[in-house]
Amino acid sequence: MLDAYREYFHALTQEYVNSASAGGVLAKLNESRVLDEKRLAARRARSNLEASIDRVSAEPGTTAEQMNQLNAILVSSHRFMNAVMALEAGWRHTPPSRPMAEFGVFAEDVEKTLELLAKMLGGEKVRTKDFPALREDHQRLLQAGDSRTEQYVLVNVEADRITNSLNTLREQVTEWVRAQKGG
């Protein structure tokens, strides 16, 4: 699921950066088949994970604590996707603005965070220091943009939600992996 989320986020941010530089965010986002495909793939992946979690809950030996951890991870991932979809919806209805360079750094770090989380869940060892500092990226975004420009306000608000959800998700996944290894 996290890989599908990363691919959707990547497609969205690339459409935004490329179309804004060409001067037509609204038209480009509204016509993007790739973006539609990635969004639908992310939804399918989420639905598949939800079904898997339901099946896990029926397995003998599954504890309430495990279910609480899985559901918390799911909630944080939903918060992330809600923020990403809010960006997409907002970009479709706001006048085009030139993306800030700081947004590009933030977007790359979001993708890296999602990639590292997927690796952790896949059994790879990932160190805490390998994760980008999303809160610092968000602070740079706040300092760089014109807080009166509608599009920058949207990015700042949703980047905060993305940062909160991914930082929480990182903690939850770390705890899940630690618990599965027995401490």
Longest dimension (CA), the chain: 56
- Residue located via tokens 């903690």: 171
Q: Is 119 exposed, middle or buried (0-12, 13-18, 19+ CB in 10 A)?
A: middle
Q: Is 38 exposed, middle or buried (0-12, 13-18, 19+ CB in 10 A)?
A: buried
DSSP assignment string, 104-166: HHHHHHHHHHHHHHHHHHTT----GGGS--HHHHHHHHHHHS-TTSHHHHHHHHHHHHHHHHH
The pLDDT, as a whole number, for residue 150 is 65
The segments of the chain whose pLDDT lies below 50 read 26-27
The pLDDT, as a whole number, for residue 29 is 57
The pLDDT, as a whole number, for residue 34 is 86
The pLDDT, as a whole number, for residue 31 is 60
pLDDT tens-digit readout, 20-38: 655 555 445 556 788 899 9
The pLDDT, as a whole number, for residue 153 is 83
The pLDDT, as a whole number, for residue 180 is 86
Domain count, the chain: 1
Neighbours of 177 (CB within 10 A): 17
Tell me the whole-structure pTM to 2 decimals.
0.90
Structural domain harbouring 114: 2-180
pLDDT tens-digit readout, 149-172: 666 788 889 999 999 999 999 999
